[in-house]
Structure 1
Amino acid sequence: MSGSAFAVTHHAFSSGAGRTSDGNGSHASTLKSPSYTKSVSWQHYLHTVIKMNNKIIRYIKADIDRYDITAHVWISTPLTDVECKVLELLIKGYNITQISKCRFRSIKTISVQKHQIYNKLEIRNDFTFWIDLSLSPYVKIKYSYKDKIHKDCILPCHNYILMK
């Protein structure tokens, strides 16, 4: 990368960190029942913003527990921080209702955010989510088992991100 500007910014967010429900500074997770707090307190969002040649590439790491794999996703189309958090949960297999509970947002809000993500990444619908994501020229995916890179993609995909 000769002559290019390169910067990395890490963002890690806990699902309820800094969020208040009544505006007086009380932590949102303390307002929920103990079982609900336990079910979401482990949830952490990790994504990275990489600036290279005045282009922003977002990195999302999503642990998919059901299959004991981690999806490493690089996206070259602009997504907001919130959209990255929602996309991470979609990759993990969460539905809109589950995401709304984790994010302390209405189902309608999450539905709108999901629609915006699908439009930006050219994902047609839930049924084609993985195919469209894997074949997108804006997305690069790698899967790993316990910190070992498994292979580029489960489905055929580009070996590069088209930087437009």
Structure 2
Amino acid sequence: MTIEMKVMISTEEIQAKVQELGKKIDAHYANSDKELVLIGLLRGSVIFMADLCRAISKEHELDFMTVSSYAGGTTSSRDVKILKDLDGEIRNKDVLVVEDIIDSGNTLSKVLEILQTRQPNSIELCTLVSKPSRREIELDVKFLGFEVEDKFIVGYGLDYDQKYRHIPFIGEIGL
């Protein structure tokens, strides 16, 4: 299958935004004496989180979760299943959930509910890309990279059938 792709967000734009987000995150947590934990939602967030964690100067831990809301199909079942849970405790820590893209918000809102039961000091949300036109559940995104139209995009962690995550820019594809 041949896929046509056009650059939507360049590598340079992404890297500049990651540095900007790192500064904003540092400023936000500057007066907190609590430990900071970045929680990435696998697999899509891993490339963004790797760059973001290097852009944050405040000392922090990294942890990951894998969740699914797809019961073997292509549409969300709205029932979130934890496939890989956190390795560490988040009680009394400042938690920053790092996501590659937010579409409907359904899965992420459930993840935030689950994390809240673990009694962190705070929970904030950072996403590289948001598609507000697809939002079904409003989320308070404290740190936002880019808002995009409802286009199918890949690259910089975003995939199509587990492919194209490695591309250093975000591209729109036509299937």
TM over 0.5: no
Name the TM-score, length of structure 2 as normaliser. 0.26
Which structure dedicates a bigger proportion of its chain to helix?
1
Higher relative contact order (CA 8 A, sep 6+): 2
Name the TM-score, length of structure 1 as normaliser. 0.27
